[in-house]
Chains A and B, each alone.
Chain A
């Protein structure tokens, strides 16, 4: 898919800054995302990728900068606002309530209610079975709290929660960190399928091979600043590693404020 055809980005984060107690965790960072595109965010631990993404998902409030969704200025002050714009997040920590079951986690904050105003647990379990059946057909432990599940099963619950509500923008923070090879392949397949549906995906990953097989573009961060953007077809793995480690922008990439000369 040629992303340059789309003139209007799905998400455009402009000049975002946030600091925690004097430390600039994210400093004047700009990234954008087009429909049906996978943009990988790369960088060392502490480079500011997760912080930048948590600003988009409403978990952190930015100090400066603007977020545009569909070209319009968006107000994202908390996770509810972000979900209102169709932004769903799969956190690195999964952010599951360990003591309740799969259906309760999938619908946390957006429970289905009966006409009596009570929780419709049966309906929630039914749709949980449906969506989990697509992601992980062998999964049967719907009655158990999610802390009893294996790492891969927990991961699929977190992914199911993100895609259950027709997300338009998906943020995946290390989605395959806890998975075995087979499950990782499943997630890759899912990403391609979601991409084909026109969903825009921000992918945070440490696995540079993953990034090159899945992402259309990369954005590299270092010390809270964006080193540069590049289409994955215009750069190779060594060049991207150079961006991550040295902050050096190769000829195929567009340099950002964090690039060294």
Chain B
């Protein structure tokens, strides 16, 4: 494709050339779809179908898919930050340990410190705990970033040190004791029947997202028209809008067909003194709050990466650090900010996983750094720097989690699970490098 687009102006020559392209090539050219991303989504769908077959139809159920979305949330949140880290040719090995330490501090804040000051289950508890966690995460990230950017210690070493330091710190804070239970509002961040938004709100969110997709397509078309740039054909725009909306509404539909288990319904009826029979009351989960958090993080990070100056600098630095310096970019400060963002994302991920577990343990998040890096790399982030997308990393996180849950559903032994995940990671990156070579 790259040769055919050389010196190809819009207009007469363009259309003459276009008729020579095959139908498939024309389709991809018109829609400007990212073929690599499509390939990854194809791989994900393939994995899902295979697991569904091998697990006897257990995989592609609303219940499993809903659980999958909740289980993915924490790593997906961190993977969005890992993209920026890896794009600038750095690495962060400490995210799992930061998650453990920040989670522990948030747990201690809400379960041991705040009850003595403002009372147990105070409405502000969750906010204070979350704020403490985010500030702490940002501070840890700033410390890492400062040492990496201004003191010139390689990120690999700094965060390898961080891996040990923060894991030790998580242990040290409570002398290894597990802290529980969490504040009841805070626990909503972890999902579960209460931590989901319900059917109606889910539909509303779905429709808002659809409207946003259409608005974005219309707006970008208007912008390109303003400067009379080549436009995508109308059918391609309509197709993209339709596919986007179908995917969003389909996901909402799945979340809304996963109903509360009978035990939860019984408790709910008792708690609210309803007279209705427990088999007549059907309550849908809807989208889980941690999933919403992850999606919001993904949207915000995509915006930061593609629409802001900071994001532009991150990619430029990854492509050619010297050029970024010569262009007058404060590369050290950008690097430090990236690690601060990574710290904040670790804190959000810590909140999700602590809330979900309803406890903080000193082992929480162990090996999450590797899952996060794997998610980013499977999602198309190049370790050579300069290349990567937030959406890709989040899908990568979903792929990793799908593999793990699928193997659990198939009843595969734990050692085999690790072996498979490791092999898949290597094969995925190998295929990606083949793909990139073929594009050059």
Contact = CB atoms under 8 A, between A and B. Distances in A.
Contact of B327 (A109, A139, A141, A148): A109
Interface in A55-110: 57-59, 78-80, 83, 89, 91, 93-100, 104, 108-110
A118 interface: yes
Interface residues of A, number: 38
B34 interface: no
Interface string B399-430: 00000000000000000000000000000000
B227 A99 contact: no
Contact of A100 (B226, B307, B312, B322): B312
Interface stretch (A120-128, A199-207, A210-218): A120-128
Interface string A119-142: 100110110000000000011110
A197 interface: no
Given A99-B318, A100-B316, A109-B329, A119 B5 contact: no
Contact of B324 (A94, A97, A113, A118): A97
B227 A123 contact: yes
A79 B330 CA distance: 10
B8 interface: yes
Contact of B319 (A83, A97, A139): A97
Given A140-B8, A140-B9, A95 B328 contact: no
B2 interface: yes
Contact of B307 (A98, A119, A148): A119
Contacts of A28: none
B308 A119 contact: yes
A233 B328 CA distance: 38
Contacts of A83: 328
B271 interface: no
Interface string B303-325: 10011110111011111101111
B15 interface: no
A80 B325 CA distance: 9
Of B9, B227, B318, most buried by chain A (CB within 10 Å of CB) is B227
Contacts of A125: 227, 229
Contact of A97 (B5, B307, B315, B328): B315
B6 interface: yes
Given A99-B318, A119-B307, A126-B227, A79 B312 contact: no
Contacts of A122: 223-224, 226-227, 229
A148 B7 CA distance: 12
A108 B307 contact: no
A100 B315 contact: yes
B437 to A, nearest CB: 14
A97 B316 contact: yes
A170 to B, nearest CB: 15
Contacts of A144: 2, 5
Nearest to B326: A95
B44 interface: no
Nearest to A158: B323
A114 to B, nearest CB: 9
A111 interface: yes
A147 B319 CA distance: 10
B5 A141 contact: yes
A6 to B, nearest CB: 29
B6 A98 contact: no
Interface string B1-36: 010011111000000000000000000000000000
Given A98-B320, A141-B7, A148-B2, 17 more contacts: A79-B326, A83-B328, A95-B322, A97-B320, A97-B386, A98-B386, A99-B387, A100-B316, A109-B327, A109-B329, A117-B308, A118-B308, A119-B306, A119-B309, A122-B223, A139-B7, A141-B5
11 contacts: A57-B326, A79-B328, A95-B326, A95-B327, A96-B320, A99-B387, A104-B312, A109-B329, A119-B306, A126-B229, A138-B7
10 pairs of A and B residues whose beta carbons are closest in the complex: A99-B319, A99-B386, A109-B327, A80-B328, A97-B316, A97-B319, A95-B323, A108-B327, A126-B227, A109-B328
Interface of A: 57-59, 78-80, 83, 89, 91, 93-100, 104, 108-111, 113, 117-119, 122-123, 125-126, 138-141, 144-145, 147-148
